[in-house]
Structure 1
Amino acid sequence: MVPIGSVQALLITRSFHSYIPRFRAPARGKRQQNKKEQAQIDYTQPIDNAQGKETTINSSVGTRKDIESINRDFLHRTKGLEPDIELKQLPQIKEEFDQRYKDRYVRPSENWYTKSWRSLKKPRIPSHKLINSNVQLDAGINVSSPMEFQPVRLMENPLNVGDLVLLKARPNELAMCVGLPNSTMDPRYTFVAIDGTMFFATKNRILLRIPHKLPSGVNSLIQPEEHHKYLPIGTIKSFSNQTNILPIAARQIITSTYPAQISKLAWKYLPITKKKLQLLHRSLQNYMGPWQIPFFTLVGLVQKLDLDKALDDENGITYLTNLVNDYQSADDVPINSPTFISTYWAIMQQQESNLWGEIHLNTGLLSPTSVTIIPLKTRHLYYAQVIEKLEANGYKEINRFVNLVNEKKYQDISTLYPSVIQLLKDFAAGNFHNNGIIVTLISKIFRKIERYKDYDITRDICQDLINEILPSTISNPLLLNIDLALPVSSKLGQSQQKLYDLTNKEDLQRNSGSDGDRYDFGDLRVFCIDSETAHEIDDGISIENHGKDGLYTLHIHIADPTSMFPESTDFDSQGIKTDILKVALERSFTTYLPDIVVPMLPQSICHLSDLGKQGQMTKTISFSVDVKVLPKSDGGSLEIINENFKIRKGLVSNFPKATYADVDRILSTPDSEASPVKEDLLNLSMISKLLRDQRIKNSNAIIFGEGFNKGLVTLNANEEGELTDVSFSDQAETLSTILVSEMMILANTLTGTYFAENKIGGVFRCYKQLSLDMIAQRQYNSMITSTKKGQFPKLEDIIKLSSLLNSSFYTGRPFRHEMIGAKQYLTVTSPLRRFPDMINHLQIHRHLQGKPLCFSQAQIDRLIWPIQSRADILKRASRNSSTYWTLNYLKKLMKSDPEKTYDVMITSVPQNGFAGCVFPDLSFARGTLKLHPGTKHYPMIGDIVRNCKISKIDCLEGILELEKL
């Protein structure tokens, strides 16, 4: 009995180690009892245990003997009523609590501090003060502060333990990466929030990343929870019998400190950042149409903008204009992390006002590369007026529109409601982001349309309604996406196309200069191996057999469109000055979609530069190198004589006809006596195989085998001539494709090394292998070993390993391309289709003439971000379009046979009864599989699950849901 004021508390603990206080009033004279059942008892007499009489004690008595008597009395009276209750003394309760706290929290922190943080420079903290120590990390332990960072650090290292991230599931709070993928069966990273909550996600769930290195000596943060006699407090990841914990000391000292500081400042900056973005938007927006600004450029502008100057009544507009025009971002300018985060959050909030479009993410850097700026008048103000009109008078206009739809008066709708039609088109095309107001309006419309009121509101049914109103509507609404800026839908794209159409061929030819400084390759055969339907032919291959010691000279000839522009010869200027090249930079790449191809350069330039016109002298940039095929007695390998590598401006004219099919046929047809053409192709094929073997064995290159890129989409014309009939093909690897790809890889690799050694700034292509845990790393290494043995990973292996593979990216630094197996990799082989190659060609022109380079390193670094942004946009658009047509195909099958079932392959760890899946023969048919409720053993990544039925398809959103029958 413990005195508490005038009340005494009896603490009773349950078997699961919690306690419930019981309160009993102190005795005052005699206890009132039921007069019929009990007689008066003298409670001051000694306790008779044999008789089991109920006893109490005077409040003035507090000896241990008295307390023990009360305990025995209480247990006797309650025996059988609460069998799971045991009575414990307060000292015993405290002792058990302390032991439980020590086993669950203190000991893990001690173990982590002594065993997982091995550094002589770490702060000295007594073990009993580890928790709530409030220690501050200093520079002495080599910890880098993530309060600011340089963007180039995102390119130097992939995601690793210590990096700070925002995740799709938790976009409003920073988390720290504390664990790497541990196997192909569970490729998820481990993250912890500021409060220590542990959760798991694959890298494709990351929205942005702040690079951060842990203090020196910290080997790990997460630990397996040790076994103790109490209930575990850790989190389960892969195995139900193993829980993992983040020790409190690790959280307080390392994982929560910087995320909490950055988040606190980001929320503090948010109102100011939103105001700055509103002001910047006025100066950045282009009335011709949406465009993308590099994300780090925008963050830099937010950092630099002075609100007092920008809001000045007299000079504010001038200040903003000058700031935007004069600001030049650079990778060596530190980015303030709280401003970085607050800018991201502010844009997400202002997307609802149609000021900003999509934030574009690169999956290799795990960082935003750009954000779309939406025009003020034609989008922001336009939709503000549309919304106001539709919401007025109790949604009167929506009701009128719906009535016309229900009555099928489509001509009236086209005349009276063009703004609603445009709203539906933009929604179907995916042009609204985080816009709850628009979603609400769309929902109100469809809930009142008779034939749609019971449907889920999707972009697909939006397009169905548009097709009813306007039957001649474009077949693929994704072509209207504002990020693509295609001429078919964008005023900006249309103005660019007009400039291209007005390009004067004669002026271009005059600008190309004389041929006196070019090397004439004469009648040397140049094989331009491509498909019959190739839009640009920008590469050719030659070989010279020196007839002794296995010595050959390889020539890779590349089209030379840059010679037509003054930037290649105007040595007094730097950068891009020509309007056509400025547009080419904005396009950055030829757009290849199943529905449409939009060239990066004007057709006139492509036609003048194309290789393959027999007998016509054509200008090239030619890359030549000697190689030596060693005899089989010496291993039969290939020696590349790097010191003989040359880059020259060339002239070629002899182009034997050579498609992929032609070359495969020639190489596979036995002849008693080979023609010169066949001899060249046989030698090229032999050398290409040796080049590949060398990349695999010496440089750990990764080659994908059977099953990769299956179900590629091809559109064929229907009876009306529209490209709507879908067919599928598999990307097959043949002798001809290996020949071409290996020669192009050789040219890009050798040129990358040449640029690095000669300190020429250029646009490199980089691939960084992900950091993995031990088991996952062994599995990855096993794939490398199998590849070296000629066993290339098949579809099942690719599915298992896909989450352990990174994505490549462009950079101005000569980093490794680890997947190709190149120390440096600089693309030069497709200048008609890739603007990075044009930049590198302009550098080559200046370098070969011994003149100042066209681009400084700082200029190259600034060009990287818009190029990477455009690459990300086109990659996603190509994937989305292929997915759209693939799901359309499945949707038709589903309508014709609703009970049809399919076999799918599992692509993710099953969670909550669902798992990611893909159709093995259709690469773009990816979705979610609902597993059978009675499933005892969930399938693993790479397993085939049979007898699955499609339950939902949204082609435009890319949603495919199936259920296991």
Structure 2
Amino acid sequence: MFRTVQRHSRRFRGTVPAPRPKKKSPAALSKEALAVTQEVSQQTKKKYYDPSNVTLDFELLNANLVNKILGDSRDRVAKRLDQPGKRWKQDHKLDMEETIRQFRLYLMDGRISLQHNLQPLDIGDLVLLDSQSTLAHLVVQKPQDLKTSTYTLVNHEGEIVYVHRDQIKLRVPGVVPPSKVEELDMIQLEKKHPGLAPIGLPDSKFARSPEALPEGWLPKEEKLQKGSDQELLTTGDDFIMAQAASQLLTDTDVITYIVPTPVRRIISKPLVDTAILSFRKINSFTRVLDNVHKILQYDENNSLISLARSIPILELLNKVWNFERKYKLLEHADGQEEFRILNAQIDYLGIHGPTVLGKPVVEVPSEEYKKEDFPISSYIGFMVALAQNPRKWKVNFQHNSKVPLNVDILPISKSIDTADALDFLKGTGIKQFTRFYTDFVAKKNYKEPKKLKQVMSVLRDFVAGNIVEDRMLESVVGNLIRSIDHALDLRGLRKRKDVAYSYEYSKSRALEIITSLDQGLWCNPSRWSSSLNLPDTGVSPKSDLGKQYYDFVDQKFNTKDALSEAVKGASATEALLDLSLEAFEDEIKEAKSPVTDSWLASDFHQKDPYASVREDFPNLPIYCIDSATAHEIDDGISIEYLDDSFKVVVHVADPTSVLKDSSMLNLIAFEKGTTTYLPEGASLMMPQLISKVCGMDAPGKNRSFGVEMLVSRKDLETFEKSPTSEAAHKLMESIVESTKIKFLNIQDNAVCITYEEVNKILADESNCERFLQGTIDGQESDPFNLSRVASALKSVREFLGALDFPNESSKTFVDYKPKGDVEQPYFQKTEKGFRIAMVSDAEQVPVISIEKDVDQSQESKSQELVSNFMVTANHCASSFAIKNDVPIILRTQRLNLNSDFKADIKALMDKHRNGPGMTVQEMADFGKHMTAANYETNQHGHESLGLSCYSHFTSPLRRYTDMVNQWMLGQYLVKQGEWTKEQQKDLSGIANHLQICLMINKQAQRSSTRFWQASFLKQYFEQLKRGDVSEPIEFEFLLLGDAKRGDVRCKLKYFDQMKTTIVADDGVKRRFNSGEFEVGKVVKPTFKIKKLDMIEHEFTVELTST
């Protein structure tokens, strides 16, 4: 609608007032509006749409007009709401009151536990789309096929919402049984009526069907043929929003869906009541969490600590749940009195023991840990309370399943420093810091602001993601960056960037500011993560001390013989064994205390604990195949030829026979959980001494943990000649049944060889010909027979349901070099990829190398050989443990797909088994439905590997889970006659802790690789612009999506971890429409960069004409 704007002359003192405009009558105004509307309608080329109801006849009397409006309204309500509700009731003969009562019980009396948290996203789950809201949605449908990745939700108002997993902030698993949700058919196809706009929602694809037309209507001939230029071109309208408008769906064949009113009645009140009850609990949880947080901030000397630590999410909830709330006393207490009252509650939290580095939070939980469950409303209220206090708690989520695993307890000292820094910046601090920074950049005399250290800490936490969902912090930091850049622009000190970051005042810009103040040293921000707790980063004093202890160990015993000699005479008193690592901090730093020597030596077994069951292994080669840069050699494979079978033994390093499970080295390794592999170097789970002593390549006498398997020649040949599901099952079952677990003595058996060398042997045509003719004998045939068996094992698992994903990737590594040692030109092409040096004012220069990972490529037969034997050995060892009731930590994965979906996947795998591999589109579709694997103690199988049980045994030098499982099997073999249920340790808490460690490390590794790949691109394009690149990179984009639904997702060769997209402009759409571009095709276009962000990992380009 339009209205006339009257311009009035301004009144000044002494002037004659302008006459007031004559007030127009309502009729005159209506005529004027109609005239304006007609004029606009005539001038515009597009059809003008009046959203008012044009069917009303305003010539009618008011009473008649009102009656018509009311009648039409009743008719619309009847057709849109009442009739669908009646049809639903006719189809579902239910006792409504009983059904409502059941749903209320599901939500109000539902419980959540550790076991629930490991389930994949499914129908019947509750999900929150806002981390600070208690309003939950119910999952009512999950993806039905590979092409669809959206989940269908219903909220408390009966509205349908489509989401991807990434949009979910919190999930409460298993609230309503999926069968109950499906039984109610909550989502119904809407029946359209002629001339009446539908109220339902189209699906995420705007699917069409003649059934969606009003009754008796026939489908009209489509004006736009599929794939036409007109369909793909941008018109300036929001296509999705226009299609979603209900008026435009009137009398169309676009399918729309509704939630019938009876269903709304069933779910609405329980969802609302759960949200209200959860909301009411937030205040209480916040107060208790504040008190618990205070307790965990003091050491035994009542001094504040500065260490961030982690605790499993449900363990913290359990502590809070059992906390005695003495609010009345606390309300009137302060200072020492408050501390005295809080300290009295420590017993309720189960906190005790040495506390020099903070009160220990997690000890190995009891069997009760996995049985504890909590009301759903309490869990939601608790999670929202945590989210509302981001400076005290940071929740870490498992990305795929959207469940929280643990919480970082952030030190109060950091919270205080953050608050001080923000208060300073909100006052005059931004001006002070801006003046300081601009003077620093201008190399003038500058005065450091009062809170420089605190502000720098805030910037690091902002960049590293240590504090999340803190809107005040984000706002203040954004204002600071804006002020700095504005001041730099005014003084001509900032070069305008040709390439934008994802956000104008982004984390990447904050990182640049940090870097310039750190003398230009470019650093991976993941190293500042409070969750990762890497040593020598200023994040964790405890990690620093652990590394000092490792260094002390490596320095003290630099050879295997030196350790053996020390262990022989080692002894320690009970009092000494009870001491903690912190008690020897000074001695460790000085590395000279004889008391420490004795205590250290007591970490190791003086005698082999498995001597009674250990066997001598014959003089056969054990092939240890790994990359040339491997830090630990922890596995190998041997093969022996029997008359009717191949005896294959997968040998694994045996640190559990050397290291005591009560040792300080073991406790440090348990806390780390796994070796952390970052592009700039590894932070080892174990000191290097353990690899020297226990690694498969250790010289002289050595020990191994062996998984012995017999591969029947007859069954193998039967499967190779006629690969069927029946033959596959028979071969795998015979291997599993033959499995024996052994602890072995070996001596100089290891033959260390690289993936590349094995590939050359297997690719040699003369060797292949001799093997096929049977003229290659003895150990020379070992690689070929091992490769043959491994290939068969892979095919067997595919028949068992394994999903085979080709792993084409690049590897990124960073080497810091002194500035004077960096070679020119700074950008160089290498044999396998590229290398670039990020030269700046810093003395240490990061040199980034990105290469194709040929060792892990699909064509690498050596990689296939090793991985398939390790997977089979892990499966066989797990089966042995389960068969003999030995508790171990299992690796499980549940995809949770319906039967039709599984059938489609099986058909797809069968299609590609003996033909070409999966297409890019198929792999991308598969990836949307994969769920994370978990460590747990209950057997659920590993679906993507096609195995009924699976665990980790084969990498004990870099994964703590493997050590635990070795210990358990070792104890079983030694104590077979005495093995009872009472002697079995509960492993649930340990499994949960190790799952958290693995998750945090994987996220850090992925984020670090993306950061360095983006840093490479940033430096490359800057050098390219300066003319310093003589041989430019020819970038190859693998198209993963089309242009119909926005920017085109791509995979950039060598830089495959980046979130790469091509802007979907009209030119790109035309190329897709013409067939020049298609999903799965590799293109090499010319382009200009729109976005490149190191922290958000985004690389967006716009194609230019060639």
TM-score for both structures, normalised by structure 1: 0.81
Write the letter of the residue equivalent to 1:538. D
Distance 1:452 1:112, change over 3 A: farther
Distance 1:195 1:896, change over 3 A: farther
Correspondence for 1:588 among 673, 688, 701: 673
Give the aligned partner of residue 346 of structure 2: 321
Distance 1:607 1:251, change over 3 A: farther
Does structure 1 retain, via aligned residues, the 8 Å contact 2:956–2:963?
Answer: yes
**CA shift for structure 1 position 522:** 2.9
Give the aligned partner of residue 768 of structure 1: 894
CA distance in 2, matches of 1:252, 1:537: 60
The C-alpha deviation readout for 1:220-254, integer Å capped at 9, x for no partner, is: 32222223221111112212643433323354244
- Correspondence 1:305 to 2:323: yes
Give the aligned partner of residue 885 of structure 2: 759
Give the aligned partner of residue 8 of structure 1: none
Correspondence for 2:189 among 224, 238, 248: 224
Does structure 1 retain, via aligned residues, the 8 Å contact 2:100–2:267?
Answer: no
The C-alpha deviation readout for 1:10-69, integer Å capped at 9, x for no partner, is: xxxxxxxxxxxxxxxxxxxxxxxxxxxxxxxxxxxxxxxxxxxxxxxxxxxxxxxxxxxx
CA distance in 1, matches of 2:657, 2:1059: 44
- Correspondence 1:661 to 2:756: yes
Give the aligned partner of residue 881 of structure 1: 1008
Give the aligned partner of residue 392 of structure 2: 355
CA distance in 2, matches of 1:779, 1:949: 40
Does structure 1 retain, via aligned residues, the 8 Å contact 2:660–2:666?
Answer: no
Does structure 2 retain, via aligned residues, the 8 Å contact 1:425–1:477?
Answer: yes
CA distance in 1, matches of 2:346, 2:84: 57
Does structure 1 retain, via aligned residues, the 8 Å contact 2:156–2:264?
Answer: no
Write the letter of the residue equivalent to 2:849. V
Give the aligned partner of residue 136 of structure 1: 100
**CA shift for structure 1 position 704:** 1.5
Does structure 1 retain, via aligned residues, the 8 Å contact 2:132–2:384?
Answer: no
Give the aligned partner of residue 62 of structure 1: none
Give the aligned partner of residue 678 of structure 1: 780
Distance 1:240 1:633, change over 3 A: closer
**CA shift for structure 1 position 800:** 2.4
CA distance in 1, matches of 2:400, 2:796: 26
Distance 1:728 1:103, change over 3 A: farther
Per the alignment, in what secondary structure is the counterpart of residue 724 of structure 1? Answer: strand
Does structure 2 retain, via aligned residues, the 8 Å contact 1:528–1:657?
Answer: yes
Query: Gaps spanning 5+ residues in structure 1: where?
Result: 1-80, 126-132, 568-576
Distance 1:760 1:458, change over 3 A: same
Write the letter of the residue equivalent to 1:727. I
Q: Write the mapping of 1:735-884 to structure 2, written as runs, cut at 5 A.
A: 735-771=861-897, 774=900, 777=902, 779-850=904-975, 859-884=986-1011
Per the alignment, in what secondary structure is the counterpart of residue 845 of structure 1? Answer: helix
Correspondence for 1:370 among 406, 409, 428: 406
Larger radius of gyration: 1
Correspondence for 2:86 among 101, 107, 110: 110
- Correspondence 1:961 to 2:1009: no
Give the aligned partner of residue 443 of structure 1: 478
Give the aligned partner of residue 458 of structure 2: 423
Give the aligned partner of residue 114 of structure 2: 151
The C-alpha deviation readout for 1:726-758, integer Å capped at 9, x for no partner, is: 323143132211111111111110111122222
CA distance in 1, matches of 2:1078, 2:628: 42
Distance 1:611 1:386, change over 3 A: same
CA distance in 2, matches of 1:940, 1:223: 35
Per the alignment, in what secondary structure is the counterpart of residue 350 of structure 1? Answer: coil
- Correspondence 1:462 to 2:510: yes
**CA shift for structure 1 position 598:** 0.6
Per the alignment, in what secondary structure is the counterpart of residue 945 of structure 2? Answer: coil
**CA shift for structure 1 position 541:** 0.9
**CA shift for structure 1 position 579:** 2.3
- Correspondence 1:201 to 2:236: no
Distance 1:154 1:416, change over 3 A: closer
Correspondence for 1:710 among 798, 806, 809: 809
Larger helix fraction of residues: 2
Correspondence for 2:281 among 269, 288, 305: 269
Distance 1:246 1:320, change over 3 A: farther
Write the letter of the residue equivalent to 1:958. H
**CA shift for structure 1 position 597:** 0.2
Write the letter of the residue equivalent to 1:457. Y
Correspondence for 1:383 among 406, 415, 418: 418
* Corresponding residue pairs, total: 851
Distance 1:147 1:420, change over 3 A: same
Query: Gaps spanning 5+ residues in structure 2: where?
Result: 1-52, 209-253, 299-304, 352-364, 491-495, 558-562, 568-600, 722-726, 823-843, 1026-1031
CA distance in 1, matches of 2:660, 2:448: 52
The C-alpha deviation readout for 1:557-610, integer Å capped at 9, x for no partner, is: 11111122333xxxxxxxxx3322221111101001111201111221221110
CA distance in 1, matches of 2:342, 2:132: 37
The C-alpha deviation readout for 1:159-181, integer Å capped at 9, x for no partner, is: 22221012359955311112212
Distance 1:220 1:889, change over 3 A: farther
Give the aligned partner of residue 376 of structure 2: 337
Does structure 2 retain, via aligned residues, the 8 Å contact 1:625–1:644?
Answer: yes
Q: Write the mapping of 1:500-649 to structure 2, written as runs, cut at 5 A.
A: 500-503=550-553, 505=563, 506=567, 507=601, 510-513=605-608, 515=611, 517-546=613-642, 548-549=643-644, 551-567=645-661, 577-614=662-699, 616-630=700-714, 632=717, 636=721, 638=731, 640-649=734-743
Write the letter of the residue equivalent to 1:583. I
Give the aligned partner of residue 1059 of structure 2: 926
Give the aligned partner of residue 233 of structure 2: none
The C-alpha deviation readout for 1:352-383, integer Å capped at 9, x for no partner, is: xx2123x2111344200011111122x11222
CA distance in 1, matches of 2:877, 2:785: 23
TM-score for both structures, normalised by structure 2: 0.71
CA distance in 1, matches of 2:131, 2:1048: 17
CA distance in 2, matches of 1:113, 1:858: 53
Distance 1:857 1:517, change over 3 A: closer
CA distance in 2, matches of 1:332, 1:214: 22
**CA shift for structure 1 position 414:** 9.8
Q: For structure 1, which segment, 747-756 or 853-862, has the greater mean C-alpha deviation from structure 2 after superposition?
A: 853-862
Write the letter of the residue equivalent to 2:925. K
CA distance in 1, matches of 2:130, 2:865: 42
Distance 1:783 1:207, change over 3 A: farther
Write the letter of the residue equivalent to 2:1059. R
Per the alignment, in what secondary structure is the counterpart of residue 926 of structure 1? Answer: strand
CA distance in 2, matches of 1:410, 1:331: 61
Correspondence for 1:432 among 451, 455, 467: 467
Distance 1:261 1:884, change over 3 A: same
Does structure 2 retain, via aligned residues, the 8 Å contact 1:556–1:744?
Answer: yes
Does structure 1 retain, via aligned residues, the 8 Å contact 2:134–2:278?
Answer: no
Distance 1:410 1:107, change over 3 A: farther
The C-alpha deviation readout for 1:658-715, integer Å capped at 9, x for no partner, is: 2212222222332455353222222211111111111111x1111123xx34233233
Per the alignment, in what secondary structure is the counterpart of residue 193 of structure 2? Answer: coil
**CA shift for structure 1 position 893:** 4.0
The C-alpha deviation readout for 1:125-175, integer Å capped at 9, x for no partner, is: 5xxxxxxx7962339x996866312220233x4222221012359955311
CA distance in 1, matches of 2:83, 2:1099: 48
Q: Identity rate of aligned residues, in percent? A: 22
CA distance in 2, matches of 1:310, 1:629: 77
Does structure 2 retain, via aligned residues, the 8 Å contact 1:293–1:370?
Answer: yes
CA distance in 2, matches of 1:462, 1:481: 16
